[in-house]
């Protein structure tokens, strides 16, 4: 049975998903932590872009918190054109076409798969129809600069809202699928 593939990004109201640590610090509380924990429950594999993997691999191995307890032992599949083989930190370089790789990953093993980032990786896999659902936690803040998931390179793409919630901190948690 094929595995479910999800992605989750934090966003400003004007669509910026780059460096959410710049804008989410005062809008992330226990309720958001619980939603993240529930989203990661049962995930056994994480697909991640090289830049984000490099940042996380420097920080998380020494971190002692709930996300560290999740990300350190989970299998990580790094979308990269410059790294290869076993990368340490329970990580493997994705070789070849990432869409084909993730489609093969879906058909093997068990447990959920999540695409943690980066922006290009999430965009590519979501628009290719490989990601079943994309959750955007939209924080109540506008930021003038930063990369957007759906920038001007993305053609008209229709989505279906499959779930939504609003947290006490004012975040809109919106889960979408591609409209077929």
> What's 62's DSSP letter?
G
Question: Who wins on pLDDT, 66 or 168?
Answer: 168
Cα 86–Cα 89–Cα 90 angle in degrees, nearest 5: 65
Determine the pLDDT at residue 86: 80
pLDDT at 149 over 80: yes
Of 126, 48, 6, the residue nearest 60 (C-alpha): 48
- Which SS3 state, helix, strand or coil, does residue 67 take? helix
Convert the pLDDT of each residue in 71-110 to its tens digit. 999 999 999 999 987 899 999 999 899 999 999 999 998 9
pLDDT at 57 over 80: yes
% of the chain beyond a pLDDT of 70: 100
**Contact by Cβ (8 Å): 143, 22:** yes
CA distance 78 to 154: 23
Joined together, the tokens standing for residue 36 give 């993240």
- Structural domains in the chain, sorted by start: 5-178 (3.40.430.10)
Joined together, the tokens standing for residue 32 give 């958001």
Instruction: Please name the helix (run of DSSP H) or strand (run of DSSP E) that holds residue 164, with its range, or none.
Output: strand 159-166
- Which SS3 state, helix, strand or coil, does residue 168 take? coil
């Amino acid at each position: 049975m094929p595995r479910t593939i999800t992605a989750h990004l934090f966003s400003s109201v004007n669509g910026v998903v780059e460096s959410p640590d710049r804008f989410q610090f005062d809008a992330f509380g226990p309720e958001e932590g619980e939603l993240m924990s529930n989203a990661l429950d049962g995930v056994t594999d994480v697909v991640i872009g090289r830049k984000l993997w490099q940042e996380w691999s420097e920080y998380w191995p020494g971190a002692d918190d709930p996300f560290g307890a999740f990300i350190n032992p989970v299998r990580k599949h790094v979308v990269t054109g410059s790294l290869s083989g076993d990368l340490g930190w329970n990580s493997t370089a994705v070789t070849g076409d990432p869409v084909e790789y993730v489609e093969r990953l879906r058909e093997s093993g068990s447990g959920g798969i999540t695409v943690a980032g980066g922006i290009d990786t999430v965009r590519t896999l979501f628009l290719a129809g490989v990601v079943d659902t994309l959750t955007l936690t939209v924080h109540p803040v506008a930021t003038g600069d930063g990369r957007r998931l759906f920038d001007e390179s993305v053609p008209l793409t229709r989505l279906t809202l499959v779930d939504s919630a609003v947290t006490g901190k004012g975040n809109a948690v919106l889960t979408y699928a591609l409209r077929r």
